[in-house]
A = this chain, B = another copy of it.
Amino acid sequence: MKAIALNATLKSGADRSTSSTGHMLGLIASELQRHKVECEVVALADHAIQPGVTSDEGEGDEWPMIRDKILAADILILGTPIWLGQPSSVCKRALERMDAFLAETDDQGRMVSYGRIAAVAVVGNEDGAHHVSAELYQALNDVGFTLAPNAVAYWVGEAMSATNFIDLPEPPQKVQSAIDVMVRNTLHLARLIATDPYPGRK
């Protein structure tokens, strides 16, 4: 059982140490670790991901390397900050590249992504987590991922607040509970599907 987490923060390089999304993904990776599941975290903004909707947009495109990691894992955690109540452009870029899965099917019509379980992490100063999870659920489900119940861990502050999740003295208990539930359900489903994959068309 292997997991990959994509951090869709706008921050790259050294700035990324201040990423609240990265902080949330770290908590999720720890919980996975507690269940003996390794989770690599990839910061998307550190990579040159070309605009496009194919799996390889040619010279200089680092998406193929990330795509390989996604397909080598059983579980995908997609983490994004909220800007203007919506997922980040970096997150949208990754989803666009996964659009290619729609045409990458086996001889029984199953996308290359089938059998993988997705979950979502959303962090913002204020408001937007439900909508962001809605958009990510739909896009990820469209491109072949399965969703266990309560597939999101999120934190946002009160309306029009400016506090960062990473600056809280410690994660609220409710956030830790949501992570526990998300990880437990996602792992359960990943194990079931690994043993007994989706059937193709006859």
- List the interface of chain A (C-beta within 8 A of B): 10-12, 45, 51-53, 83-90, 92-93, 95-96, 99, 109, 111, 113-114, 126-131, 133-135, 137-139, 141-152, 154-161, 172, 174-175, 178, 180-181, 184-185, 188-189, 192-193, 196, 198-199, 201
Q: How far is the CA of A95 from the CA of B84 in the complex (A)?
A: 8
Closest 3 pairs (CB-CB, A-B): A85-B130, A131-B131, A134-B138
For A150, the chain B residues whose CB sits under 8 A away are 141-142, 144
For A139, the chain B residues whose CB sits under 8 A away are 84-86
Contact A130 B133 (CB under 8 A): no
Contact A148 B149 (CB under 8 A): no
The quantity of this chain's copies bound in the complex is 4
For A83, the chain B residues whose CB sits under 8 A away are 53, 92, 95-96, 99
Known: A83-B99, A85-B134, A88-B96. A154 touches B143 (CB 8 A): no
For this complex, 17 residue pairs linking A to B, each with C-beta atoms less than 8 Å apart, are A10-B96, A51-B88, A84-B139, A85-B129, A85-B130, A86-B95, A86-B130, A87-B92, A89-B89, A89-B90, A89-B95, A141-B149, A154-B159, A156-B159, A158-B161, A160-B172, A180-B201
> Which chain B residue lies CB-closest to A115?
B149
